[in-house]
Structure 1
């Protein structure tokens, strides 16, 4: 027996694409995706994007080096996603700072834009203080931002 692996995204130049299927648990009574679940979809896509470029968030946290946290978020809901829709979260790094990365994300149903957000993630110590991102991480972000 072959065990399936979780969904994984892919890079298309500087753009990371992550597949998402809308399940019953993602929807409200009317069958429309509950607004907070778009944030979950985007979080999964960002985590996958980091893994695809070699950033091991778990190892950084376990070693005490630091962890990313959302510092700023702006979101616009344009059209609803519905039960059983096949969606793609499209992510692109917009800016890289010493302790932050800004990522634009769009939730798409085919070519139709449903939701978009700009997320600034800050690299923090375990105590919650900002700190410089590891140099290889900044280089990875810079590489995909300019691809």
Structure 2
């Protein structure tokens, strides 16, 4: 792993991932383009999994499978702008044998800019849902929280 890659951290059961808004993230007005919030959240979820001890790369390369987003509900509340430092806070809301639901908030300081609920399903290399690796379920169990 690249020693310069950004890394988040857990604060209790919530994972916090900090990032800065760069020019490439914005439209011509300097406001973050709406689809880039999804990129920020994806990076934060991937980092959360890594911090929890879940190795997606090994599972994928070993032919076990990978996560696929099955459902997503997102709300935009306020814009992020060029140069802003943002925090993506992620919490596991529910866990099933083949799926996990994560609630994520993109914040600037204490202001929520966007929030989403994302359902990711573990799928086999052929694309069929399958049980997540047992060690992943074990890693997720202590992180499950209830709603907002």
For residue 20 of structure 1, what is the aligned residue in structure 2? Answer: 19
Task: Give the secondary structure class of the aligned counterpart of 1:25.
Answer: helix
For residue 130 of structure 1, what is the aligned residue in structure 2? Answer: 129
**RMSD between aligned residues:** 1.1
1:85 counterpart = 2:73: no
1:78 shift after superposition: 0.3
For residue 100 of structure 1, what is the aligned residue in structure 2? Answer: 99
Which 5+ residue runs of structure 2 have no aligned equivalent?
none
1:52 shift after superposition: 0.4
**TM-score, normalising length: structure 2:** 0.95
1:114 counterpart = 2:105: no
Mapped to 2, the partners of 1:38 and 1:139 lie a distance apart of: 29
1:143 shift after superposition: 1.3
Mapped to 1, the partners of 2:3 and 2:127 lie a distance apart of: 36
1:60 shift after superposition: 0.2
For residue 71 of structure 1, what is the aligned residue in structure 2? Answer: 70
Task: Give the secondary structure class of the aligned counterpart of 1:87.
Answer: strand
1:79 shift after superposition: 0.2
Mapped to 2, the partners of 1:6 and 1:123 lie a distance apart of: 25
1:5 shift after superposition: 1.2
1:51 shift after superposition: 0.3
> How many residues matched?
144
Mapped to 1, the partners of 2:120 and 2:62 lie a distance apart of: 20
1:4 shift after superposition: 5.8
Mapped to 1, the partners of 2:52 and 2:91 lie a distance apart of: 13
Which 5+ residue runs of structure 1 have no aligned equivalent?
none
1:29 counterpart = 2:28: yes
Mapped to 1, the partners of 2:39 and 2:71 lie a distance apart of: 15
- Which consecutive aligned stretches of 4+ in structure 1 deviate over 3 angstroms post-superposition? none
